[in-house]
Amino acid sequence: MFLIDNILLAPLKGLAWLGDKINDVAEREFSDEGRIKEEFMELQLWFEMDEISEEEYEKQEKVLLARLEAIRKAKEEGI
């Protein structure tokens, strides 16, 4: 009986495992200060090369700074 249950539930368990792994990777990428700093440097490069406008630069800069602040706040709170 347990063997049949394992066989029938294997696809669901595999899907749940995959979902957990995707979530872990997304959380790591979102909470990586180094990644945000890289994005900020890339944004500065685009601005300096006139690839984006000053308005777009400032808008994206605010988003990156907000993400960085959220990460630092979460680390302080131990989340």
What is the reported pLDDT for 1? 58
Domain ranges of the chain: 1-30, 32-79
* Whether this model's pTM surpasses 0.75: no
Q: Is residue 79 over pLDDT 60? A: no
pLDDT, the chain, mean? 85
CA–CA distance, 44 with 42 (Å, rounded to integer): 5
Produce one character per residue of 3-38: b if its CB has 16 or more CB atoms within 10 Å, e if not: eeeeeeeeeeeeeeeeeeeeeeeeeeeebeeeebee
CA–CA distance, 45 with 60 (Å, rounded to integer): 13
DSSP classification of residue 29: H
